[in-house]
Structure 1
Amino acid sequence: MHTDVLIVGAGPTGLTLACDLARRGVRTLLVEKADRLFPGSRGKGLQPRTQEVFDDLGVIDAIQASGARYPLMMTWEDGERRGEWDLIERRPVTPGVPCPDVWMIPQWRTQQILLARLQELGGSIEFGTALTGLSQNAERVEAVLEHPDGTTRAVTADYLVAADGGRSAVRRAVGIPMAGESVDPRPALVADVRLDGLDRDNWHIWPKAPGGALLLCPLPGTDDFQLFAQFEEGEPDTSPDGVRTALAARTHLPASAVREVRWASDFRPRAALAERFRAGRVFLAGDAAHIHSPAGGQGLNTSVQDAYNLGWKLGQVLRHGAPPQLLDSYEQERMPIAAEVLQISTHLHRAGRTTSAGGGRGAQRGTSTDQLDVGYRGGPLSTEVRGNVPEDALQAGDRAPDAECIAADGTSQRLFDMLRGPHFTLVAAGCEPPAVPAGLRTARVDAYGAGLFLIRPDGYVGLATDDPADLVDHLAAMGIRSGALRA
């Protein structure tokens, strides 16, 4: 069997990439070692930038219908409420930012929504399928897949993407080391529980509980709470009785309040980064490339955006004849971002630990975590050729903000509506757009300043120029033959 892209791992990273490739007509085989989707709520916060990604992929309505904004925190001590406070820096909707707040939705539900979208696009997951062998040459990747009954089969692919988590079998197979540090020596317990005796209006926290802080967060669209408990001493017991014991020891609720433990896991927060994100025709994405503390809700979001960055590049190379060197930009763009985000999540974790004794008010989440400022200025695909551009002006490499625009047919639209899909878009600000090749959309926008802005399929400005002639070489590097362009 041969496929264009073999994706190993069907978590949020693998599912996002599979959806993006499917809408580009790229043949994809998505395999998952487990016999089902991940069942826990673990990565429950979707940052504003990730919501924009999911808007482009056509799942934002389902995401919004299944989630909610974060509730206010409620601190408890000695069985009494000690007051509300806000973990999130709330911001209003603006013309450029339609989704300004982090959105809470259990990870298992996000994955269900992505799988439904993948199936709409004609894709699927092969569950119970593990990668047991891997080799590659200059032309292809050769993999051995094992099925639940012990049988194996050989698969070849043009490229392979490791989306198989922090213990990635693919990363080990290609010999890429991962270096990191322990963010917190204390182990932690996380579980999804159904319980009685607690309202769902707040995210409840017992910061001074004996043995370590405990939090209970109501999960929207469900009857569940996510339980998180730190352990100052000893190891977490992930059995149902162990979860009940931890809750009863640290809160005013009895063990019998927990009706059901639906999922439980333990972990030690750590931060780690792979030495590189590519080995030949094999790419690392998500937790296979970087591991985060859960503080700040950065892990899942950075992982989704890895997939979003890589997907359009694979599509251009495999379907539109872009030079394979385009794929070199994946590591060049994403590795510095992952390193920076790791520092943010580690700082937030340690800040929260330092301040928990004072009531649980750790570092607040806001512009440092929403990932709207993540960009690729100075990167290999960011070409800024205008002169004397102010530092705070929109430049090549920046996220393209939403705005009112005029489409080529003269209708007024939202720019994000025009960007939705696997194409490039040329925005003309303060000028008329030039003639462009088929498949490239154009729009006029006043809010962007002045110039021509070529927006990549992942919503970042690739080229900012005053001269339409600059488009020719830039488009050619993306696999778009433009011929002669005229103003």
Structure 2
Amino acid sequence: MQVLIAGAGPTGLTLAIDLLRRGVDVRLVDQAETPFTGSRGDGLQPRTLEVFEDLGVLDAVLAAGELPKPIRAYRGHDVLFEKHMGEISEPRPDVPYPNGLMLGQSRTEEILRARLAELGGTVEFGTALVAFEQDTDGVTAILTSARGTETVRADHLVGADGGRSTVRKALGVPFVGVTDESIRMLIGDVSADALDREHVHWFGDPAKPREGVVLSPLPGTDQFQFAAPLDGEPTLEGLQALLDRASGRTDIRLRNLTWCTVWRPNVRLAAQFRVGRVFLAGDAAHVHPPTGGQGLNTGVQDAYNLGWKLASGDSALLDTYEAERRRVAQEVLELSTRIMRRYTDGAENAHERGAETSQLGITYRTAPASAGTVFVGDRAPDAPLRTADGAPVRLFELFRGPHATTLAFGVAAPAGPHSWSIAPAGATVPGALVDVDGHAHRAYGAAPGTVVEVRPDGYIGAYRVTEPAA
């Protein structure tokens, strides 16, 4: 099997990594001549960190990123208030990464490209998908590059090529939604003197949060992400004028503008995520306001949902990609839009974020199970265990890899290389992992005889309770 992926942003890279580790041949192309260099999607949510652990990039991401900094709001030199956008939480047995992470998108992509290379993959920059046709057996695509024009054949095509997706347009799939021309933001990466890097710095009138200027430190650099209402030119001089006016100060000097863009609220959802052998993912399928930090993360999880289904070759299973991910994308778009309205309405809680942005609560439920605190379609929680000889192991370690996993609580596990018995301390179940503190049983609401099947993407595929043997 070969999968052709158009677009090598976080979505395309995640999908390519997931497919390569499953033994699927991948061709990843991007029409840009060079990798993206800006910060753009700079917030990684807790669920994305869990995905990155499974894909083998979490250590590099944690080393490069930082926890969100508190916001310090000023009027001139006076500090009006200081607060976190959301509570910083301690890790729990079921949620090992409860906090989001700040990391510029270009650095995230760099880490993903390094992992792709470890698996034998590469990104073909300067290679554009210009046309394609599909039939019952595959997709024939036309690619152009400096080498000329090439015709390629693939079993499937995935459009991860952004909000202006060539793939989506060629399919004729409507991109339903609105673009609000009344709101325009200037966003850029710039160095700034006289500002510490332990805070997000906000200048303006707290009663008008959408009119403020914010400078957020970018980890691993001496730069800040600059964001302000568009009222001038997208140049260093234009940003400086905006900052001077909002801050009333002259000591903060901007320099080294390396990336800048004009952004407007564009909230859209593709009418379909699948047309035959062609799929849409990431911004090609849904575009979000930046409020809430949901866009990049939703795209990564599109890819994580799609990878194992493509590798299966099961068309009926592939149908569940649209059924599951389009509903999630719609819910996330509604969340991002609600948060954006706080800014436009001047709400006091405009800067605040809650657990709803973590994406840990995303579910593919269709109906509740008959028992337990988790349901079919929910995220499978983590928990600490011990082997019979006392070595620590986590459930996420058992899940790691391209396989599905079966957990049998208090009973012998079904035969299989990724099937595990879990028993309470003191119970006698041959070969079982020991749930010393009971975290796993509580997280899964598991009575003796409970069997949980965890999908390759870390969601619960089946939950049943059987009578344990006498």
> Are the equivalent residues in 2 in contact too, given 1:188–1:268 (CA < 8 A)?
yes
> Are the equivalent residues in 2 in contact too, given 1:425–1:443 (CA < 8 A)?
no
What do the CA deviations read for 1:411-448 (whole angstroms, capped 9, x no partner)?
54111111111111101123331223xx4342414332
**Aligned pairs (5 A) from 1:231-310:** 231=230, 236-254=232-250, 257-310=253-306
Q: Post-superposition shift, 1:80?
A: 2.1
Q: Post-superposition shift, 1:220?
A: 1.5
Instruction: Tell me which residue corresponds to 1:415.
Output: 395
Q: Post-superposition shift, 1:90?
A: 2.2
Instruction: Tell me which residue corresponds to 1:425.
Output: 405
Compared CA separation, residues 422 and 407, structure 1 to 2 (3 A): farther
- Residue of structure 1 aligned with 2:337, choices 310, 325, 346: 346
The reply to whether residue 32 of structure 1 matches residue 35 of structure 2 is: no
Q: Give the distance between the partners of 1:255 and 1:307, measured in 2 at CA.
A: 45
SS in 1 for 2:357: coil
Instruction: Tell me which residue corresponds to 2:190.
Output: 193
SS in 2 for 1:405: strand
Q: Post-superposition shift, 1:244?
A: 2.5
> Are the equivalent residues in 2 in contact too, given 1:405–1:443 (CA < 8 A)?
no
Instruction: Tell me which residue corresponds to 2:137.
Output: 139
Compared CA separation, residues 440 and 206, structure 1 to 2 (3 A): same
Q: Post-superposition shift, 1:255?
A: 8.9
* Counterpart AA for 1:328: D
**Aligned pairs (5 A) from 1:374-413:** 374-378=362-366, 387=370, 389=371, 393-405=373-385, 412-413=392-393
* Counterpart AA for 2:140: E
Q: Give the distance between the partners of 2:150 and 2:235, measured in 1 at CA.
A: 37
Q: Post-superposition shift, 1:315?
A: 1.4
SS in 2 for 1:92: coil
**Aligned pairs (5 A) from 1:63-78:** 63-78=61-76
* Counterpart AA for 2:377: G
Q: Give the distance between the partners of 1:184 and 1:308, measured in 2 at CA.
A: 33
Matched positions, count: 446
Q: Post-superposition shift, 1:182?
A: 3.3
Higher mean alpha-carbon deviation, 266-275 vs 302-311, is at 266-275
The percentage of counterpart residues that share the same residue type is 45
What do the CA deviations read for 1:44-94 (whole angstroms, capped 9, x no partner)?
111100000000001111001001100110111134221201211222211
Instruction: Tell me which residue corresponds to 2:326.
Output: 335
Higher mean alpha-carbon deviation, 217-226 vs 441-450, is at 441-450
What do the CA deviations read for 1:212-248 (whole angstroms, capped 9, x no partner)?
21100011111110000013xx5x5222332232222
Q: Give the distance between the partners of 2:441 and 2:386, measured in 1 at CA.
A: 9
SS in 1 for 2:155: strand
* Counterpart AA for 1:371: Q
Instruction: Tell me which residue corresponds to 1:442.
Output: 420
Q: Post-superposition shift, 1:183?
A: 5.3
SS in 2 for 1:368: helix
- Residue of structure 2 aligned with 1:206, choices 199, 203, 206: 203
SS in 2 for 1:250: helix
Q: Give the distance between the partners of 1:94 and 1:312, measured in 2 at CA.
A: 28
Compared CA separation, residues 80 and 462, structure 1 to 2 (3 A): same
SS in 1 for 2:60: helix
Q: Give the distance between the partners of 1:335 and 1:116, measured in 2 at CA.
A: 30
What do the CA deviations read for 1:363-420 (whole angstroms, capped 9, x no partner)?
52121110111011117xxxx7x63x25xx1121110010123569985411111111
Query: RMSD between aligned alpha carbons?
Result: 2.2
Q: Post-superposition shift, 1:256?
A: 7.7
Instruction: Tell me which residue corresponds to 2:124.
Output: 126
> Are the equivalent residues in 2 in contact too, given 1:48–1:370 (CA < 8 A)?
yes
Instruction: Tell me which residue corresponds to 2:434.
Output: none
Instruction: Tell me which residue corresponds to 1:174.
Output: 171
Instruction: Tell me which residue corresponds to 1:48.
Output: 46
SS in 2 for 1:6: strand
Higher mean alpha-carbon deviation, 345-354 vs 65-74, is at 345-354
* Counterpart AA for 1:373: G
Q: Post-superposition shift, 1:467?
A: 4.5
Q: Give the distance between the partners of 2:392 and 2:196, measured in 1 at CA.
A: 45
Instruction: Tell me which residue corresponds to 1:86.
Output: 84
Higher mean alpha-carbon deviation, 212-221 vs 200-209, is at 200-209
SS in 2 for 1:426: strand
Instruction: Tell me which residue corresponds to 1:461.
Output: 460
* Counterpart AA for 1:306: D
Q: Give the distance between the partners of 1:399 and 1:184, measured in 2 at CA.
A: 37
Q: Give the distance between the partners of 1:19 and 1:95, measured in 2 at CA.
A: 27
Instruction: Tell me which residue corresponds to 2:220.
Output: 221
Q: Give the distance between the partners of 2:249 and 2:279, measured in 1 at CA.
A: 47
Q: Give the distance between the partners of 2:247 and 2:400, measured in 1 at CA.
A: 47
> Are the equivalent residues in 2 in contact too, given 1:10–1:164 (CA < 8 A)?
yes
Runs of 5+ unmatched residues, structure 2: 423-439
